[in-house]
Amino acid sequence: MRLAAAAVAGAVLAVGPCGSGLRVSASEAAASGPASGAASLSTATVPVRHVVEIMLENHSFDNLFGDLSGVDGIPTGTSFPSPTVPGARVGPLVAPPDQGSVGPNLDNSRPIEDEAMDRRPNGTFGMDRYTITPYEGLASITVFPPSVDPNLQFLGRHYALAETNFQPEIAPTTPNVLAALAGTSDGWYSNNEPPVADKFHTIFDQLQAAGRSWDIFYGVSPSLLKGTYWDRLVPPGHTGQLTTTSQFISAAATGALPDFSFVRPGYGYSEESPEDTSLGDAWLGQLVLAVMKGPDWPSTVIFVTYDEGGGFWDHVSPPQVDAAGYGTRTPMVVISPFTPPELITERTTNLSVLSFMQALWHLPPLDTTNALAPNLLNYFDFSSAPRQPQLPPAAPPATLRLLVAGPSSVYYTAPLNQTFTVDLAAETPGLAPDMALNGAVTLSVSGPRGAPAAKVPGAVELRDGTGWFHARLPAEGYWRVTAVGPEHSLGWVTIGVDVNADTP
């Protein structure tokens, strides 16, 4: 099945590197690692001063781009064994335009992901066991329509979209973040904390030694990250450079971006199931818009990446380069004034962001895996005048975060046909409370096909940036509440009622 909106993209994407401008050949890069060609690069010919990586969470390429025309998307006729009807088969499930997530959380642990991918004796994967119990169920073969993430879809069509970007390790978030910053997770494949003895030499160490600036911007308070693996990723004496996304917004607005900005989301904005994908996408739009409208845009490259596939299916069997991976394909979009709309067909991982900076700033690779990652310089056109920014279409001035009140385990679930409370909070693009936002918030709700009407008020008052309302949902399945507030603020939440891994 192909979504109607996908046809628009086919005319914009041009397969392969653009044909003019300064190039570092792909063969040279493959032969000598990401620093190949670095001697020929100079600030005179490559006007890039700032690299920004915005790393979101837990989506595969097919999950978000599988129905986009012109890419290696979901093959026609794809089907899987039905987990609920013996002998039957089921195709990928296209989420309704008004559904932004699936739940409960998919299991993206290394053992489950390896089984769901169906490892074969010849080193390939069948990519066909995701629906089989005890693996991921129907939730894993969900495909989200472009209406759920309009900013990512827009940026993917108007800049460079990597269609063969693989998560570096068959593992959940922590190992893949480690690999993206250090080139390796040192054999650690769990979301638990790596052994204290493990010390990671990262891109931050490299930049610090080279006299280059960097900051890590997080959508949560840095105090919440103390005692985690971030203690071992930040160079000693530089804990103040693990800061908030509010500081990123300020730096973008004032022309004070560091050489490298690594940006991570806050709770509710990561796009990880069961968080609503649209809320994270709105935040992505806010970040990109802040850079595009700021003084540093003419000298900035933005990489939008996803840490790993999150348990969502993808049809491409990843190559096995070592014991760690690769894992499933994940989206990567490369945005800059020098990046024409094109499709990056070269095999990459998120380590290509490291390779790009290392080639740009004449730094050595961190390890062999890093050395093999293409630096992507041949997808930039530095000989032409910088392009005017193509502004993301859905970047609200403030977002509205909605959470079901109660213990953290039920933030995105609600009891059947019982009254519960939803808390509402306005947040700035830096994910700080927007206490200045006051006024009426209009609410609308959509639910399972044929379900009775939900009991949700038509509007609620926002005072000092906060509010709340009672709701009652009369049927099992996924329900989505959309909030439209003062000054064009927007928010979404998808709430599951008695859902399981096989709820369509």
Nearest to 461 by CA among 483, 438, 484: 438
By residue count, the chain amounts to 504
Each residue of 11-21: pLDDT tens digit?
A: 333 333 333 23
Taking the alpha carbons of 348, 353, 359, 363 in that order, is the dihedral positive or negative?
negative
Find the range with the poorest average confidence among 25-34, 323-332, 334-343. Answer: 25-34
Structure tokens at 342: 């094109």
How large is the average pLDDT for residues 40-56? 82
Predicted confidence band at 411 (pLDDT cuts at 50, 70, 90)? confident
For residue 43, what pLDDT is reported? Answer: 53
Q: How far is CA 135 from CA 89, 117, 463, in A?
A: 16, 10, 44
**3-state DSSP call for residue 295?**
coil
| Radius of gyration over every alpha carbon of the chain, rounded to an integer in angstroms | 22
Bridge partner residues of 423 (DSSP): 403, 468
For residue 41, what pLDDT is reported? Answer: 58
Predicted confidence band at 364 (pLDDT cuts at 50, 70, 90)? very high
How large is the average pLDDT for residues 239-266? 97
Q: How far is CA 8 from CA 69, 141, 170, 387, 413, in A?
A: 8, 24, 33, 21, 36
Is the pLDDT assigned to residue 170 strictly greater than 60?
yes
Nearest to 191 by CA among 305, 281, 272: 272
For residue 325, what pLDDT is reported? Answer: 87
For residue 408, what pLDDT is reported? Answer: 64
Each residue of 123-138: pLDDT tens digit?
A: 899 999 999 977 789 9
Q: How far is CA 181 from CA 164, 169, 176, 320, in A?
A: 20, 13, 9, 20
Q: Which residue is listed with tokens 């994270």?
A: 280
Taking the alpha carbons of 124, 128, 132, 138 in that order, is the dihedral positive or negative?
positive
How large is the average pLDDT for residues 155-179? 97
Predicted confidence band at 204 (pLDDT cuts at 50, 70, 90)? very high
Mean pLDDT of the chain: 90
* Top mean-pLDDT range of 20-29, 168-177, 378-387: 168-177
CA 404 to centroid of chain Cα atoms: 24
List all residues 6 or more positions away from 300 whose beta carbon is below 8 Å from its beta carbon. 48, 49, 50, 51, 52, 257, 291, 336, 337
Q: CA 316, CA 405: separation in Å to the nearest integer?
A: 40
Q: CA 211, CA 302: separation in Å to the nearest integer?
A: 21
Q: CA 67, CA 307: separation in Å to the nearest integer?
A: 21
Q: How far is CA 141 from CA 79, 214, 318, 321, in A?
A: 10, 38, 17, 26
Taking the alpha carbons of 359, 365, 371, 373 in that order, is the dihedral positive or negative?
negative
CB 248 within 8 A of CB 295: no
Each residue of 75-120: pLDDT tens digit?
A: 999 999 999 899 999 999 999 999 999 987 789 999 999 999 999 9
Q: Kindly list the structural domains of the chain, giving each domain's residue range(s) and its CATH number in brackets, ordered by start.
A: 4-62+145-379 (3.40.720.10), 399-497 (2.60.40.10)
Across 20-155, the runs of DSSP E, i.e. the strands, are 50-56, 80-81, 89-90, 93-94, 142-143
**3-state DSSP call for residue 472?**
strand
CB 141 within 8 A of CB 130: yes
How large is the average pLDDT for residues 264-285? 96
Structure tokens at 128: 């066909």
pTM, rounded to two decimals: 0.92
CB 276 within 8 A of CB 101: yes
Q: CA 100, CA 346: separation in Å to the nearest integer?
A: 30
